[in-house]
Amino acid sequence: MDHRTVRQFVAKFEENFGTREGLRCSRAPGRVNLIGEHTDYNGGFVMPMAIDREVRLFFRTADDGPVRVWSESYAEWDEFDLDGIERNESATGGWANYVRGVAAMLIDEGYALSPVEGIICGDVPIGAGLSSSAALEVATAGAFCAAAGIEPDPKELALLCQRAENRFVGVNCGIMDQFVSIHARREHALLLDCRSLEHELLPLDTSAFRIVVCNTMVHHELGSSAYNERRARCEEAARLLNERVGGVQQLRDVTPEILAQDGDALDGETLKRARHVVSENERTVQAAEALKAGEYARFGRLMDESHESLRDDYEVSCEELDLMVALARSQPGILGARMVGGGFGGCTVNLVERDHANRLSEAVSAAYRAETGIAPETYQFVAVAGAGVEKC
């Protein structure tokens, strides 16, 4: 968010609340996952990076009274007391429940909160799979913590924001989005072990490369039921392999060698689902090694393999995603392209040489629109630092 836009929201805050005294800004970035798809709920590895799109909450500690916040994206107010926080069933898109849920979870953890008044704004595209919801949660948590003068451990704060989404909002998300929004570093990706929450920062040379995300602008209804079915298949595969070899709590514990030797314990479809997860964990660890060695062509090949596995073994791609990937791979300067997210629509993520990024975005957009009649959106990102609170 540029300085001009920040000044506009500072002025808007003063217009709505009558003062800018004590005004601060809590910011939290969105994210894109470079590799490691459908591994999180199997206890595996993911590799997100924070993107240069963020949610900001301009706030100050209120003297008394309720929490009162305005959402610029939805042009709505929300107001609630910190005693006995309940869901807001009327807020457009449910945005207010992310704010309320974070406050409720902080109070459940025993923190004494102070009411805040503020304005929420941001430029993370909503509904594009770039984690605008986690950015809102983390920005909200930063504001409440700063207002109350508390400093939870960053890892615990990420878990708290996840609980807000799981328990209060009612979305069964994993930990990746909140974790990277807090822990990210400029010009780095983050390798996260979703079981232990151990993480490693990995260099990402954004002077030479760009991350281009292409939004197909479609999402097929089959996504939700297919996600549940695949998750159940993964759990069944882990159970059956544990009966055969022992020591398997999740597919994270299965090596390619175990799957090659004992995969006959699984039916054909379950074996395919397990094969994706096991191979994707291997690819993600190898991708981390590639980044540390500066081997970006190798990293791109692993992204390509990830898409093929998601398409053929996990079967969560679709015609539009496959088309978008194929169009990107036909362009000069492309190193790797794959679908990203749950599947059945949404976005692709592409690793592109910096000097070719603009041309790729334009060419893929034009060709996709000509083929499908749908006007896509494309975004170029660099890796930025995680959340923070600053004075205005």
DSSP-assigned letters across all residues of 368-390 = HHHHHS---EEEEE-B----EEE
170 and 58 housed in the same domain? yes
Q: Which two tokens stand for residue 285?
A: 């660890």
Considering the domain architecture, whether residues 243 and 333 belong to the same structural domain is answered as yes
Residue 262 appears among annotated catalytic residues: no
- Scored b (16 or more CB within 10 A) or e, 92-114 reads eebbbbbbbbbbbbbbeeeeebb
Q: Are residues 139 and 243 in the same domain?
A: no
Answer yes or no: do 125 and 155 share one domain.
Answer: yes
Task: Please write the tens of the pLDDT for every residue from 21-46.
Answer: 899 999 999 999 999 999 999 999 99
pTM, whole model, 2 decimals? 0.93
What burial class does residue 222 get, using C-beta atoms within 10 Å of its C-beta: 0-12 exposed, 13-18 middle, 19+ buried?
A: middle
End-to-end distance of the chain based on CA atoms, in angstroms?
A: 14
Measured distance CA(204)–CA(382) in Å, rounded: 9
CATH number for the domain spanning 78: value is 3.30.230.10
- Phi, psi values for residue 32, rounded to 5°: -130, 145
Same domain, 90 and 231: no
Out of 177, 264, 304, 313, the active site residue is 177
Q: Please indicate, yes or no, whether residues 123 and 143 belong to a single structural domain of this protein.
A: yes
Q: Mean of the per-residue pLDDT values for the chain?
A: 94
Q: Do residues 295 and 339 both lie within one domain? A: yes
Identify whether residues 274 and 348 lie together within a single domain.
yes
pLDDT of residue 223: 59
How far from 341 is each of 28, 38, 124, 317, CA to CA, in Å? Answer: 20, 8, 16, 10
Whether the predicted pLDDT of 1 surpasses 80: no
173 and 319 housed in the same domain: no
Does one domain contain both 252 and 334? yes
Domain that holds residue 335: 209-381
pLDDT tens-digit readout, 192-247: 999 999 999 999 988 899 999 999 999 887 656 788 899 999 999 999 999 999 99
Residue 341: give its domain's CATH number: 3.30.70.890
* Number of residues assigned to the chain: 392
The tally of domains found in the chain comes to 2
pLDDT, one tens digit per residue, over 151-186 is 999 999 999 999 999 999 988 888 999 999 999 999
Q: Is 308 helix (H, G, I), strand (E, B) or coil?
A: helix
Contact between 271 and 313 (Cβ < 8 Å): no
217 lies in the same domain as 314: yes
195, 72: one domain: yes
